[in-house]
Structure 1
Amino acid sequence: MNPSPFHIRLDRRLLLRSLLLTTGGILTGSLYAEALTLTPRATEGPYYPDHLPLDQDNDLVQIQGQAAQALGTVTEFGGRLLNADGQPIQDALIEMWQADNNGCYIHSRGAQKDKERDPAFQGYGKIITNAKGEYRFRTIKPGLYSGRTIHWHVAVKQGDKRMLTTQLYIAGVPQNDKDGVLRRMGDEAQRLSVIREFKPKTTGSPELFGTWDIVIGHTPEEPEERRGGGRPGGPAGPRS
């Protein structure tokens, strides 16, 4: 039987590129029709992993060597990484980290009060863009924690330069309207560019799927110590 379009290879040595081999024909036409808007920057937040997991691939739902899958709604998103001229960016590193179904991060201070981290959730992943600038992640819908709306953290690196740190949101989540980080992200067009619609992967499927192009400028962002992140030895910064 042929694998489904989103089949994830179990051989993790090939994983950073394997998922992109199945990209053709999946992304919707509306993704490519959108006018280019620079993706706005956002705080790194305090919970970028202070100890990266051994498994760092783009399938966060199941950790290599474990039978259990993460709790929560399986959610996939992907798209293209583009420059300001609309050209795809190849061989860039895209990182993603997020809260698990309980609203906890894989960080030494990332557990919510009276909550425990889901040990089956990877919490952090990365992927290298292909020749078309394409990337994608298989993960879960992030858990909600006090003071924020549901979101994913995303960072883009070219070589040794962090080009962008941003956040991705789900359309229709009530907390979006009052989320302080989201409200401070660029102008209205830029904010709308990071609020994406997620729909069932197939009719009746409990799994969600969304598309998102990331558009970056030519100038890398500020050094780590000024991003407001929570890396060891750095400032506590604003909420994640």
Structure 2
Amino acid sequence: MNAGTTLYRRVFLKLVLGASLWPLHGARADDLDSDSCSVTQAAPEGPFYVRNARETAYINYRNLPGRLMRVEGEVLGGPLGDLPLPEARVEIWHADGDGRYHPAGDGDVSEYSLDAVNLRGVGYTDAMGRYTFHSIVPGTYGGRRRHIHWKFSAPGYRTLTTQSYWREDQGGAQALTDVVDRNPDRCRWLDFSIDRKGIQVGVFNVVLKPLQ
């Protein structure tokens, strides 16, 4: 792929990623109350991380059935955790509605056939540090609470691997017994609402830790 094609893809992705964020339905780090989270807490990567997934905001590219979902937010940094980070790399992956991963393995995406990969993707934040992904709501499996996997990276900051959860599930049995991530900080429990199109919409704002 030549440099011109790469630049075009990056600009296109930034436009798509920012398109659904007007307005952004979430509080900035500096707008939260005094006991809000600062640097976002890490969580295990798990066994299904695949490197170099497709760069796209629409990660259900195999059109699996399920409830439509959009997750959006901001990637922030700086001394106070309120500085938007443009061009931050955001990776997302999660199970399908039946709790299965595509593929059910790890490694590099080049090790799998095209029809084996779905519900995972890569995006970049826009000039205001914003991102968004479109997908379907994941199911549960193996005693785990319903969750989404994330990896955030930006120059000058520590790469963050983490997981987010549904606040509506917070009081359920699986939420209490999930031993993979026992005590998630409250900022990783997301409130999902239903928009006018019937899509579940959640906001996940993250704060990265500087290298120094």
TM-score (norm 2): 0.77
In the alignment, what sits opposite 1:16?
13
Task: Confirm whether residue 42 of structure 1 aligns to residue 43 of structure 2.
Answer: yes
Give the Å deviation of 1:108: 4.6
In the alignment, what sits opposite 1:25?
22
In the alignment, what sits opposite 1:5?
none
In the alignment, what sits opposite 1:58?
57
Give the Å deviation of 1:176: 1.8
Structure number having the greater strand percentage: 2
Q: Is the 8 A contact 2:61 2:119 kept in 1?
A: no
Q: Is the 8 A contact 2:72 2:133 kept in 1?
A: yes
User: Which of 184, 200, 210 pairs up with 2:194?
Assistant: 200
Inter-CA distance 170–24: structure 2 relative to 1 (3 Å threshold): closer
In the alignment, what sits opposite 1:231?
none
What is the distance in 1 between the residues matched to 2:9 and 2:97?
Answer: 24
Gaps of 5+ in 1: 1-10, 64-68, 111-118, 186-190, 221-240
Inter-CA distance 160–98: structure 2 relative to 1 (3 Å threshold): farther
What is the distance in 1 between the residues matched to 2:99 and 2:168?
Answer: 19
Give the Å deviation of 1:43: 0.5
User: Which of 128, 136, 142 pairs up with 1:140?
Assistant: 136
- Percent identity between matched residues is 27
What is the distance in 2 between the residues matched to 1:106 and 1:182?
Answer: 22
What is the distance in 1 between the residues matched to 2:11 and 2:168?
Answer: 36
Gaps of 5+ in 2: 1-7, 107-114
Moved over 4 A (4+): 11-15, 159-162
CA root-mean-square deviation: 2.7
Count of residues in Structure 1 that have an aligned counterpart in Structure 2: 187
After superposition, residues 26-175 of structure 1 pair within 5 angstroms as 26-28=23-25, 30-32=26-28, 33-35=31-33, 37=37, 38-49=39-50, 52-53=52-53, 55-63=54-62, 69-83=63-77, 84-85=79-80, 86-109=82-105, 122-159=118-155, 163-173=159-169, 174=172, 175=174
